[in-house]
Chain A
Amino acid sequence: MPDRPRFNRRADGAPSYARGAKWPAWALLAIPFLLVILLLNKVAGSRVRWTACWLTVLLFEAVMIPVEHKAILLGHWVYNENRILGPLFWGIPIEEPLIYYIFPPVFVILAYETINGLLSGSVKFDWRSDIERGLKMLGWTPPASAARRAK
């Protein structure tokens, strides 16, 4: 774990710090989340009540945005300016409302529907073909499936 940083004050009074090389770690680390969401959507997307799901996301955003704004001002969370994309929405790094308030609720609901489907037997998880299909959606054909098709 890195040592404690030296905090500065932003114009709005919130603490901040900038340390290390600049790369958007906060946004890039959401990619595994996205891949798992795509895979779960293939498997159990048809079981999800999408209107209820998106309303849940909206409510989550509505609750979290003011709370995070206050939490950042109070210093509960202090973001490293060198690890975020840069633009802020009401003092909050843009990754939060655009990525981290959307993906986790959708992930929780998709995972719940997948587990429930697996337990009830209405969902079958064929790991190999589901992962292959997910990769194909991203435009990459795994060599194993290409070889199988060639046969």
Chain B
Amino acid sequence: MPLYFLTCICLFWIPGIALIAANWRRLDRLQRRSFWILAAIMAVVTFGMEYVYLWADIWDFEKRYPLLGLEIMGAPIEEFTFWFGATPFVLGVYWTLQAVFPSLQKKSIATPARAPSRRKSAGRRRKRGA
């Protein structure tokens, strides 16, 4: 059984595609375009990275469990299903979190400080007067 390939499919591709599909309608034209451009960039970047890491001899594959047998320049095709699947998964989670918890849509940085409420300031005034 090609366990590595199945792991990548179940771990990244199925949840990633499901999350992207669930969010797709909420996205405007530019966001959809950004997603495809990013997916293309990440495919190129991760393709290159795989060979840099293999060249640096950081890891290898024991092949105790059968791989699909397809290789691209010495790297098993499962590696690319792993790399390419991470982008839709990460963006899908990022969008879903914002959809499920609308408070996360507020930018967490550079949030303006809250002005003190009227009641509090009125209370303070009264104290001062006393």
Task: Check A11 for interface membership: any CB of B closer than 8 A.
Answer: no
Closest to B52 in A: A29
**Cα–Cα distance between A17 and B62 once the two chains are bound (Å):** 10
The total number of A-B Cβ pairs within 8 Å is 130
Which residues between 62 and 117 of chain B lie within 8 Å of chain A, taking CB atoms? Answer: 62-65, 73-74, 78, 86-87, 89-91, 93-94, 97-98, 101, 104-110
Chain A residues within CB distance 8 Å of chain B? 1-2, 4-5, 7, 15, 17, 19-20, 25-26, 29, 45-53, 55-56, 59-60, 63, 67, 71, 74-80, 83-84, 104-105, 108-109, 111-112, 115-116, 119-120
Q: Is the CB of A76 within 8 A of B4?
A: yes
**Cα–Cα distance between A45 and B110 once the two chains are bound (Å):** 11
Q: Is the CB of A80 within 8 A of B58?
A: yes
Q: Is the CB of B33 within 8 A of A76?
A: no
Q: Is the CB of B41 within 8 A of A56?
A: no
A51-B104, A67-B7, A111-B38 given as contacts; is B33 within 8 A of A119 (CB)?
yes
Residues in chain A near residue B57, CB distance under 8 A: 2, 19-20, 25, 80, 83
Residues in chain B near residue A63, CB distance under 8 A: 11
**Cα–Cα distance between A49 and B103 once the two chains are bound (Å):** 10
Residues in chain A near residue B108, CB distance under 8 A: 49-51
Which of B52, B62, B86, B107 gathers the greatest number of chain A CB atoms within 10 Å?
B62
Q: Is the CB of B56 within 8 A of A1?
A: no
What is the distance, in angstroms, from A90's C-beta to the closest C-beta of chain B?
17
Residues in chain B near residue A20, CB distance under 8 A: 57
Q: Is the CB of A50 within 8 A of B109?
A: yes
Q: Is the CB of A75 within 8 A of B7?
A: no
**Cα–Cα distance between A42 and B37 once the two chains are bound (Å):** 20
Q: Is the CB of B104 within 8 A of A108?
A: no
Beyond contacts A2-B54, A49-B106, A76-B65: 7 other A-B pairs, Cβ-Cβ < 8 A, are A2-B57, A52-B105, A55-B104, A56-B97, A74-B4, A77-B59, A116-B34
Residues in chain A near residue B74, CB distance under 8 A: 1
**Cα–Cα distance between A143 and B75 once the two chains are bound (Å):** 41
Q: Is the CB of B60 within 8 A of A49?
A: no
**Cα–Cα distance between A26 and B63 once the two chains are bound (Å):** 21
**Cα–Cα distance between A109 and B23 once the two chains are bound (Å):** 15
What is the distance, in angstroms, from B40's C-beta to the closest C-beta of chain A?
10
Closest to A118 in B: B34
From B37, B86, B109, give the contact of A104 (CB < 8 A).
B86
A50-B108, A76-B65 given as contacts; is B38 within 8 A of A5 (CB)?
no
Q: Is the CB of B62 within 8 A of A7?
A: yes
